[in-house]
Chains A and B, each alone.
Chain A
Amino acid sequence: MAYVPGDVALWPNLTGGEVIDVLGRMRGGLDPARRTEMLERFELDPRKRSRTYSKGNRQEVALVAALAARAELYLFDEPTSGLDPLMEAEFQRAVQELRAEGATVLLSSHILAEAEALADRVSIIRAGRVVQTGSLTDLRQLIRTTVVAETDRPADRLHEVPGVHDPQVDERRVVFEVDSHHLQAALTALTALGVRSLTAHPPTLEELFLRHYGDRVADPAS
């Protein structure tokens, strides 16, 4: 197992390179080629003493130590806090590679875009309990899709379709939410009115998250 804590503290009188080696060896050895590659990708100077590193640098030391180890399970706790956007992108690339190699990655993050980009399965934890878990697709099933459409005839009878919630009709433009498993019925009703344009967006992880953390789901249409 390789682990990167959210707030990385290192041994102040060791250099970054030494910390990487120590952690790697204690995990049962690290891959020297990968070590060199990761150091280059994260643009880290391994000869500096840990006490002189910035927060982002310390984070990178822990990341390089973890990524250069050949582990079955990688545990990242808020790994990109303190990283600049370039390094953040580099981290995402590295995680994709690990995934492709078949390793398991457990990522805890408040940056939902990061989780959305990287995760196969998502669990939402609130007050120490898992309140929702599943693949992103599964989770999306549980929430409404927002549909914006322009139709030839006003969609004034749309509220009769089951699963459709508060359609807002403004002349020929309609905005409504629909339970994901009733999408078919709603679209059938729409096409009957003659669709000119249609945009539908599935719930973002952020909306899922707010549903569990906020008192109610923020209205995506507003």
Chain B
Amino acid sequence: MSGQTGVLTGTWPLPRLSLRRDRLSLPAWLVGLGGLIVASATAVPAVYDTPEKIAGYARSVGSSPVSYLMSGRQAGLDTLGGVVANEISQVAQLGVALMVAFLVVRHTRAEEESGRAELLRSTALGRHSAAVVAIVLASTAAVLLGAVTTLAMLAVEVDAVGALTYGTGLALQGAVYAAVALLVAQLASSARGALGLAGAAVGVGYLVRGLGALQDTALVWSSPFGWAQGLDAFGRERWWPALLLVGATAGLLALAGWLTAHRDHGGGLLAARPGPERAADRLGSPLGLALRAQRGLLLGWGAGLATLGLLYGAVLPTLPDLVASNPEIADVFGGAAGAEQALVLAFLRYVHVFLALLVAAAAVASALRLRAEEESGRLELLLATPARRPQVLLAAVTVAALAVVVLSALAGLGLGVGELAATPGAGVADLGTRVVDQLAYGPAAAVLAGLAVAVVGLQPRWSVLAWAALALVGTQVLLGETLRLPDSVSAASPFEHLPGLPVEPFTVAPGAVELGVAAALVVLGLVGLRRRDVGG
């Protein structure tokens, strides 16, 4: 062979391949996340349009433990810039970290796992090329997101130095997590494992910063979230915490590079743990199998919904103060300013519906697993045993129904526990009410899951319809008032017909009718599945 293959040989054609592969997902991340940040940032001035309202924000949010936990201690809350930064911080900081983690793992460990990297490595391509390309790609995405954030802030005319500082912090925090993702991609032997580790690193960083901010201790300095916030945008603006971010990035990259050079291609430092050799007794049926196959998915949804409920519950007692300082906040969830109790109830209804919508998303995802089973050929393998089609379909339906009940209960429980912990004078009876009310919104989720089952049974290629229906219902529920949708559209949403607990009194009939509709949709799916060919 003439010439030497260096560790970086062939790095230059690779980005073009990577960009070609990411031509949809990269813009989707940037547009989706950037759009969310721009939308949140530009919405703030309309809500906080007087100095009094901004001062009110500084008083209420600036002393709220929940805000400390979720967004850290943001400087300059008595300026518009500080308010904007605090409002977007969760989406922007968590978003940028998760985005780079997905991008890096996708271009490193996932490629190795699929064997595509092996194909590329057989060409004249250096050992570190893939890692370098992934890091450059992810860092560029982080810088772009930081730039978008700065521009969005400048658009609402906040302090320019503050906006630049905030955007820089965001981009540098993205670079740190890109390096973290590259490191864990060397440790884990599967893409899922690497994503799990990277996600855990993001979660720990976020929580540690939150706890540090809550207790106002130096703990915040042990998290990249805290370093980025330490730049003190809209406050004193200091640059030395940027050195922490850059230094950590460089250190992590060096470590990842050293690991790449000292491990086998395709192998990880953490070997995959061996699983059980024999199956548990309960696994021997389509239902047991469906439960086991979706266990991870449902556990994830359950943990997420319970946490979300907990946070909403914890915010409840701060609500009257928040609205007193700025009555327009109440418009968001349709509560009338004035009576404190009515306000809290209106907020609770909004939260219940929002959580129920997420439960519906989980149930639809669960029901659509049937489609994935069929596409992959696993359904074929199952149907070659004495298991029959209705049995397999009903097993999937049972899991989806179970998901609705259990996830609703967990979300309600989280809400109740959060409320109980944060509100003096709240009783266990309130906790029970939250769980029951959340369950009462379950039939709407059941209808949407039923629709998914019907589509999979009748015409599996159209399974995206189930997601479209969910998106439509979600838009109606969350933005219906703002968009002034016609009544005929609103009437198609199953949430529209359920009693608006806890504002309105409970009635049995609508929920019962919706459960009937869900059952009818399942029957439709059953008939469809029996009549058509499997595996198309």
* A and B held together in a complex: yes
Residues of A whose CB lies within 8 Å of any CB of B are 1-3, 5, 7-11, 13-15, 17-23, 25-28, 45-49, 51-52, 62, 75
How far is the CB of A49 from the nearest CB of chain B, in Å? 6
Q: Are B378 and A13 in contact (CB under 8 A)?
A: no
Q: Say yes or no: is B116 at the interface (Cβ < 8 Å to chain A).
A: no
Q: Which of A21, A26, A49 interacts with B275 by CB under 8 Å?
A: A49
Q: Which residues on the A side are within 8 Å of B378 (C-beta)?
A: 9-11
Q: Are A5 and B278 in contact (CB under 8 A)?
A: no
Q: Taking each of B190, B278, B376, which has the highest tally of chain A beta carbons within 10 Å of its own beta carbon? A: B278
Q: Which residues on the B side are within 8 Å of A26 (C-beta)?
A: 284-286, 382, 385-387
Q: Which of B285, B293, B377 interacts with A7 by CB under 8 Å?
A: B377
Closest 6 CB pairs of A and B: A25-B284, A3-B384, A21-B279, A15-B275, A47-B274, A26-B385
Q: Are B385 and A27 in contact (CB under 8 A)?
A: yes
Proximity bits, B273-305, A CB within 8 Å = 1, else 0: 011111100011110110011011000000000
Report the nearest B residue to A39, measured CB to CB: B277
Q: Which residues on the B side are within 8 Å of A1 (C-beta)?
A: 384
Q: Which of B286, B296, B380, B385 interacts with A13 by CB under 8 Å?
A: B296
CA–CA, A45 and B276, complex, Å: 11
Q: Are A22 and B279 in contact (CB under 8 A)?
A: yes
Report the nearest A residue to B375, measured CB to CB: A9
A-B pairs with beta carbons under 8 Å apart, 26 shown: A1-B384, A3-B381, A8-B381, A9-B377, A10-B381, A11-B289, A11-B292, A11-B293, A13-B293, A13-B295, A15-B274, A17-B278, A18-B275, A20-B279, A21-B284, A25-B279, A27-B386, A28-B386, A45-B274, A46-B277, A47-B275, A48-B272, A49-B272, A49-B275, A51-B192, A62-B381
Beyond A10-B378, A23-B385, A27-B386, 20 extra complex contacts between A and B, CB < 8 Å: A1-B384, A2-B384, A3-B381, A5-B377, A5-B381, A9-B376, A9-B381, A13-B295, A15-B275, A15-B277, A17-B278, A18-B275, A18-B278, A21-B278, A21-B283, A21-B284, A22-B283, A25-B279, A47-B276, A48-B272
Q: Are A17 and B279 in contact (CB under 8 A)?
A: yes
Residues of B whose CB lies within 8 Å of any CB of A are 189-190, 192, 272, 274-279, 283-286, 288-289, 292-293, 295-296, 376-378, 380-382, 384-387
Q: Which of B283, B285, B286 interacts with A18 by CB under 8 Å?
A: B283
Q: Are B190 and A51 in contact (CB under 8 A)?
A: yes
Q: Which residues on the B side are within 8 Å of A21 (C-beta)?
A: 278-279, 283-284
Q: Are B381 and A15 in contact (CB under 8 A)?
A: no
CA–CA, A200 and B385, complex, Å: 46
Q: Are A17 and B276 in contact (CB under 8 A)?
A: yes
Q: Which residues on the A side are within 8 Å of B292 (C-beta)?
A: 11, 13-14
Q: Are B190 and A52 in contact (CB under 8 A)?
A: yes
Q: Are B276 and A15 in contact (CB under 8 A)?
A: yes
